[in-house]
Chains A and B, each alone.
Chain A
């Protein structure tokens, strides 16, 4: 049985464990029909030309973990940003771990999708927001919608801000030979609310993991949302990360994606600007080696006038790694005075590494500023000579330059401890040992 068939037949079993009378279930039923029609995306589709899910479909993934696993905090501490106090929503093999988590209902709701689905007090928010920005058409998103049951639920009411940043951590223990996870997150920041979120997927063993995640983010008027995705997973873990963002007037949403590890990563990051004077920021640092593959597909849809978007993705590719950047910007006819900026710079460290970079601009308004640039190259020889002439050996100088190349993406990270953590990961990845803390 291939994975598609297995998922469709598992849906019946899944239905035994959810409330069939809840309005959400109708959404799930529609979604599984769409997935059944479409199946997994193939390389024949333009959007999946460079990323193949074929090998994943041959793996016999467990759809539901058999048993609950417990983990000691000390064993997984390093995967948390433990230097600062945070709220934590932690899942172990897809199951919520109350022991490792710290949730709250103190003025804001930082809790679980399963609670939000089942408790009447959350029903209204679910009705207004759930599956409202996520695609009802894209097959993997609808697959996730069909099985949506658990994930992070974050609701920040008007004018509120949680006392501390929120971490969402998905851990896979390897209790199953191969496990498929489908977390579903809903983040709502109402008018003038503010929130900072860090998300990470981490497999703890060499057993295969395939995560198909969907996150919906809604930013009200003047809201500020910072979302950091840390992708530094085990070499046997694959991730398809679908993020859908809806913004209202004068809101600011910044998504940073740090891709350093994992076997196959596909990021579908979609911004929809549903108001004026919106600021959308998409930044990414990708550093790969071995046979790793990372595919960034971004979409910024400018639907109203006077908005901005800033995209800046840097990639460093070594060994036989492959990267894809596909940045689509749509500017509707009504969206005059749009300022859309897109930049994708790549360095190839080996003859076997590949990057496919493609800007895709569809502009229907006539009074806009849209710029895009893409570079693929080696390191600047003049810069290398400068460093070497100061006595810094070639290897260290190279590493230092790559570090500098990736660094400006970090400037907009607003949690200093996270910034320094990412810096350390980058320095480690690049082998920078220059006698100071970067």
Chain B
């Protein structure tokens, strides 16, 4: 589904990603771990098309199509979804109206009619139940005054509504208490299927107890320095990142 080859990206002439190779197949969950400043969030932003980053070398290919020239919204229309570490507050636009707009813009781009109102309502109800989201919450202004947990739950709600092919969850566990973490992870697990893929970016093993990855990669200094299965995450939890750093410098 997604193939990243030798990806180099920089911001203001500072190279952050220094040759990433990653292949994600449909039905898989990949975890990307690593110490602070290793380039995890940059990788997420670059895949989603943030224009602050300059791709110097390499390619990102989604289902055979090179994403290089595509704007963030076009990538969204192709089925890429990024759950933000710090979602933005949009006063005056309700969660419901925002998600309706997002869905219908994507449908428009794919040459589809707007989703009929009753179908939209049904879907909103179904997905908000999945994430244990209250009705009142949906009429509040997007992210305005939301707690950390509400913001993250809202991100996953949007993911559930948009049904992306590839979802990237950037530090979705940060700022969550254990109950919120369980709800969010449970929601993500129910959205997993053989046709989509998920990249989970996290600093800690904690989230991976709930969203169990097929593969774990360690990002350090802009490169993937180690890949393995879920046992690697446990090893990191136990030993910390220092041994990875040492191995990488050797």
A residues adjacent to B (C-beta < 8 A): 380-383, 385-394, 396-397, 400-401, 403-404, 407-408, 410, 434-436, 438
Contacts of B104 in A (CB 8 A): 435
Q: Is the CB of B76 within 8 A of A390?
A: yes
Give bound CA distance, A394 to B109, whole Å: 13
Q: Is the CB of A391 within 8 A of B71?
A: no
Give bound CA distance, A396 to B82, whole Å: 19
6 other contacts beyond A380-B88, A387-B90, A388-B71, with CB at 8 A cut-off? Answer: A385-B48, A391-B76, A403-B93, A404-B90, A404-B92, A407-B91
> Which B144-176 residues have a C-beta within 8 angstroms of A?
158, 162
Contacts of A394 in B (CB 8 A): 71, 73
A391-B109, A392-B101 given as contacts; is B90 within 8 A of A385 (CB)?
A: no
Give bound CA distance, A438 to B100, whole Å: 13
Q: Is the CB of A382 within 8 A of B88?
A: yes
Q: Is the CB of B77 within 8 A of A391?
A: yes
Q: Which of B50, B80, B93 contacts A385 (CB 8 A)?
A: B50
A381-B52, A435-B104, A436-B100 given as contacts; is B93 within 8 A of A390 (CB)?
A: no
Give bound CA distance, A389 to B48, whole Å: 7
Give bound CA distance, A135 to B121, whole Å: 57
Q: Is the CB of B92 within 8 A of A391?
A: no
Give bound CA distance, A278 to B88, whole Å: 35
Instruction: Give B86 Cβ to nearest chain A Cβ, in Å.
Output: 8
Q: Is the CB of A407 within 8 A of B92?
A: yes
Q: Is the CB of A386 within 8 A of B105?
A: no
Q: Is the CB of B90 within 8 A of A435?
A: no
Give bound CA distance, A400 to B93, whole Å: 8
Contacts of B221 in A (CB 8 A): none
Instruction: Give B66 Cβ to nearest chain A Cβ, in Å.
Output: 19
Give bound CA distance, A391 to B84, whole Å: 14
B97 within 8 A of partner (CB)? yes
Contacts of B92 in A (CB 8 A): 403-404, 407-408, 410, 438
List 20 A-B residue pairs with CB atoms under 8 Å apart, sorted by A's residue number: A382-B86, A388-B72, A388-B73, A388-B76, A389-B48, A389-B50, A389-B75, A390-B73, A391-B76, A391-B103, A393-B105, A400-B93, A403-B93, A404-B90, A404-B91, A404-B93, A434-B97, A435-B101, A435-B104, A436-B101
Contacts of A410 in B (CB 8 A): 92
Tally of A-B Cβ pairs under 8 angstroms: 85
B34 within 8 A of partner (CB)? no
Q: Is the CB of B72 within 8 A of A389?
A: yes
Question: C-beta contact mask, B51-88 vs A, less than 8 Å → 1, else 0?
Answer: 11000000000000000000111011100111010111
Instruction: Give A224 Cβ to nearest chain B Cβ, in Å.
Output: 25
B126 within 8 A of partner (CB)? no
B195 within 8 A of partner (CB)? no
B214 within 8 A of partner (CB)? no
B129 within 8 A of partner (CB)? no
A388-B73, A388-B76, A389-B49 given as contacts; is B105 within 8 A of A408 (CB)?
A: no
Contacts of A380 in B (CB 8 A): 88
Give bound CA distance, A438 to B48, whole Å: 28
Q: Is the CB of A408 within 8 A of B82?
A: no
Contacts of A397 in B (CB 8 A): 73
Contacts of B73 in A (CB 8 A): 388-394, 397
B residues adjacent to A (C-beta < 8 A): 45, 48-52, 71-73, 75-77, 80-82, 84, 86-88, 90-93, 97-98, 100-106, 109, 114, 158, 162
Contacts of B101 in A (CB 8 A): 392, 396, 400, 434-436
Most buried by B among A381, A387, A397, A435: A387
Identify the closest chain B residue to A437 (Cβ): B97
Identify the closest chain A residue to B109 (Cβ): A391
Q: Is the CB of B90 within 8 A of A400?
A: yes
Identify the closest chain B residue to A408 (Cβ): B91
Q: Is the CB of A383 within 8 A of B76?
A: no
Contacts of B102 in A (CB 8 A): 390-392
Instruction: Give B182 Cβ to nearest chain A Cβ, in Å.
Output: 25
Question: Closest 4 CB pairs between A and B?
Answer: A407-B92, A391-B76, A388-B72, A391-B106
Instruction: Give A356 Cβ to nearest chain B Cβ, in Å.
Output: 26
Instruction: Give B4 Cβ to nearest chain A Cβ, in Å.
Output: 18
A434-B101, A435-B104 given as contacts; is B88 within 8 A of A390 (CB)?
A: no
Give bound CA distance, A278 to B13, whole Å: 55
Identify the closest chain A residue to B97 (Cβ): A436
Instruction: Give B55 Cβ to nearest chain A Cβ, in Å.
Output: 15
Contacts of A391 in B (CB 8 A): 73, 76-77, 102-103, 105-106, 109, 162
Contacts of B81 in A (CB 8 A): 389
Instruction: Give B77 Cβ to nearest chain A Cβ, in Å.
Output: 6
Give bound CA distance, A393 to B106, whole Å: 9
Give bound CA distance, A400 to B51, whole Å: 19
Identify the closest chain A residue to B101 (Cβ): A434
Q: Is the CB of B88 within 8 A of A383?
A: yes
Give bound CA distance, A273 to B87, whole Å: 42
Contacts of A401 in B (CB 8 A): 90
Q: Is the CB of A390 within 8 A of B91?
A: no
Contacts of B90 in A (CB 8 A): 383, 387, 400-401, 404
Q: Is the CB of B105 within 8 A of A392?
A: yes
Instruction: Give A319 Cβ to nearest chain B Cβ, in Å.
Output: 24
Contacts of A396 in B (CB 8 A): 101, 105
Contacts of B114 in A (CB 8 A): 435
Instruction: Give B3 Cβ to nearest chain A Cβ, in Å.
Output: 20
Contacts of A392 in B (CB 8 A): 73, 101-102, 105
Instruction: Give A266 Cβ to nearest chain B Cβ, in Å.
Output: 28
Contacts of B75 in A (CB 8 A): 389
Give bound CA distance, A380 to B86, whole Å: 14
Contacts of B158 in A (CB 8 A): 390
Contacts of B98 in A (CB 8 A): 390
